[in-house]
Amino acid sequence: MSTRKRIQVPESMADVTVGKYIQLVKANDPPKEGMEAVRLGIEILCGLPRPMVQRIAFADIAKIARIMGKLIQPPKMDEYPLVPRFTLGNVEYGFVPDWSELSLGEFVDLEEACKGDVWENLPEILAIMYRPIVTSMGPLYEIAPYKPSPGQRDKMLECPMNVALGAMVFFYNTGKVFGRGTEPSSQGSNPRWAQSGGGIKLFMDWLKGIFSGLKR
């Protein structure tokens, strides 16, 4: 008697972790096409071993492929608003509430991370952007001081991709504003970044790499 395993199919970037997406990007280099791309997406995003994927009925594969269609395409910037706070495990994380108060350590680490591989450094960037909320009152909150650690970086591998992409969009747009020599309309400006043309270029190039998606 055969039994059918229920497959959890992600329907949006909110259902995909940063770690899974990085895994998919790396596995898709060079880019796969047709059913090979579908098989790869199901293996990684649904967490199924290849032998199990190969046993799935073709009709079911087609249904899964339709659901996941958007997820294996390069992300579009206008689809992802900033997510100021989100919960991971039992910890609520908050986006840096005031860009003008970015510390020297945060700025230096952020700029340095932009020099490396886009996908390898995404969790590190997120660990700078989002930190545990220590106090909260309504929409206002305070985040923990910046203390870089491999553990915090690794936690960001479980961050939902919609959160990551929303943060990237925010900083991409903020970088464009700084590049024009004006201040962003929302959160404050950062003189060190505004005066660092090289830093802006590194960050903007890094963000462009993110939004080239799987075709990078």
Ranges of each domain in the chain: 13-72, 78-215
Contacts (Cβ under 8 Å, ≥6 apart) of 186: none
Per-residue buried b or exposed e for 119-130, using 16+ beta carbons within 10 Å of the residue's own CB: bebbbbbbbbbb
Report yes or no on whether pTM surpasses 0.75.
yes
Whether residue 107 contacts residue 190, with contact meaning beta carbons closer than 8 Å, is answered with: yes
Sheet holding 140-143, edge to edge: 85-88, 91-95, 130-137, 140-143
Whether residue 193 contacts residue 201, with contact meaning beta carbons closer than 8 Å, is answered with: no
First to last CA, the chain: 45
Amino acid code (one letter) for 17: T
Per-residue buried b or exposed e for 9-31, using 16+ beta carbons within 10 Å of the residue's own CB: bbeebebbbbbbbbbbbeebeee
Contacts (Cβ under 8 Å, ≥6 apart) of 130: 86, 93, 94, 95, 96, 143, 156, 159, 163, 167
What is the structure's pLDDT at 177? 43
The per-residue pLDDT string of the chain (216 residues; one tens digit each, 9 = 90 and over) reads 344 567 888 888 899 999 998 888 888 778 777 788 888 888 998 889 999 998 988 888 888 888 877 776 666 767 889 999 999 999 999 999 887 777 888 888 887 887 777 778 889 989 999 999 999 998 899 999 998 888 899 999 999 999 998 888 887 776 654 444 334 333 344 433 333 334 445 445 555 555 554 343
Q: What CA–CA distance (Å, rounded) separates 107 from 113?
A: 10
Q: Which burial class, exposed, middle or buried, applies to 7 when counting CB atoms under 10 A from its CB (0-12, 13-18, 19+)?
A: middle
Per-residue buried b or exposed e for 103-118, using 16+ beta carbons within 10 Å of the residue's own CB: eeebbebbbebbeeeb
What is the structure's pLDDT at 64? 86
Calculate the alpha carbon distances from 207 to 44, 118, 169, 174 in Å: 24, 8, 8, 11
Tokens of 175: 């970088």
Whether residue 98 contacts residue 188, with contact meaning beta carbons closer than 8 Å, is answered with: yes
Closest CA to 210 of 148, 121, 130: 121
Amino acid code (one letter) for 156: M
What is the structure's pLDDT at 184? 39
What is the structure's pLDDT at 25? 82
